[in-house]
Amino acid sequence: MPTTSKKRRSNWRIPPKLNAKVSRHTINEQKVFITDKETGGELVSRWMVNLQKRRTTTGEGTTFGLATGSSPVLVYENLVKAYNNGDFTTENLNTINLDEYANLEAGHKETYKQFMKKNLFDDIKLPESQFHIFGSNPHSNDEEDEEIQRINELLKTYPRHLQLLGIGPNGHIGFNEPGKTLTVDTGARVVKLAIATCEANSRFFDNDINAVPTHARTLGIADILAADSIVILAWGEAKARAIQKAITGPVDSLLPASFLQRHKNVAWVIDKEAASILFGKGMRITRSMARMNLYLQKQIPQANQ
Ligand code: F6R
């Protein structure tokens, strides 16, 4: 009798409706989806909704690892739409955020807790008991240690089924900044932000770099890699160099996102600008890429100028 091999369902299926707008590549064994930001938001939220649905049918809960910043905003907007359509539920859902600034008063509009409430949690009515995020302003070292401990325990209680990430122009993921001493030890930690990160994030603080907190708490690289699957988003040319190095270069602590090469189930969802130097000169235009180019020419002519 022939042996029936059960084909593993890919996490990264493109719904037919989005097919013409996304080009799919495998580069250095990593899946790369090139599309525009709007389609990317729809695509990734669909993956999240479907993952949760699949788990719910077998009675299992779902945990998403979430990121803040501008990259995931449209993913959250689409999750809210799915929630309002009754397609996405918060039942048995938990979330753990990647990071949070240190020393911002609780309630400050730039804390990541406020960001998450504004962009997702309030709209999907996710109870406080189901979202987990570092406190933003511990008042002593003891409080800081307790907070780190609390998040480390939560990581054990709620293994993440999907981790959403952005990437800094310097290649950071979470707030794991480039540095010779970057390790892959597990555990949340307190970090000093790189100048490049403070500069990039000053746009959220009236362009005043001095108003950006100098420190933050973040999950470590190994904690990120412990998620079952990872989706990393990037829009715009400012990320192009970091992406090229992360995907095609050596695994290097000077480029933290390169550690994603050590994970078997990563999807990069990026736009044309972020992918602009990824393929090098001899880039082979695949059929799906040609189709997507046509779509982009119609939708956003400036993308091709
Ligand atoms: C945010 C985070 C950061 C951002 C990165 C990109 O929770 O962990 O690593 O993902 O700095 O930021 P944006 O998306 O604003 O370009």
Instruction: State the alpha helices, DSSP H only, in 183-286.
Output: 195-201, 221-225, 240-248
The angle that helices 73-84 and 37-57 make with each other, rounded to 10 degrees, is 50
DSSP E strand stretches across 54-143: 62-66, 93-97, 99-101, 131-132
What residues act catalytically? Answer: 99, 170, 172, 177
Ligand 1: residue whose CA is nearest its atom 12: 69
Q: Could you tell me if 114 and 108 are in contact, meaning their C-beta atoms sit under 8 angstroms apart?
A: yes
Nearest C-alpha neighbor of 221 from the set 265, 246, 188: 188
DSSP, collapsed to helix, strand or coil, labels residue 32 as: strand
> Could you tell me how many residues make up the chain?
305
Residue 286: the pLDDT is: 57
pTM: 0.90
Q: Both tokens of residue 206?
A: 């009236």
pLDDT category of residue 215 using cuts at 50, 70 and 90: very high
Residue 281: the pLDDT is: 53
For 126-158, how does the pLDDT look when each residue is reduced to its tens digit (9 = 90+)? 999 999 999 877 778 888 899 999 999 999 999
* Distances in whole angstroms, Cα of residue 131 to Cα of each of 128, 166, 191, 230: 6, 19, 22, 19
For 48-84, how does the pLDDT look when each residue is reduced to its tens digit (9 = 90+)? 999 999 999 999 999 999 999 999 999 999 999 999 9
> Is residue 174 lining ligand 1, measured as CB closer than 6 Å?
yes
CA 185 to ligand 1 center in whole angstroms:
21
For ligand 1, what atom is nearest to the CA of residue 99?
7
Query: What whole-number percentage of the chain has pLDDT above 70?
Result: 87
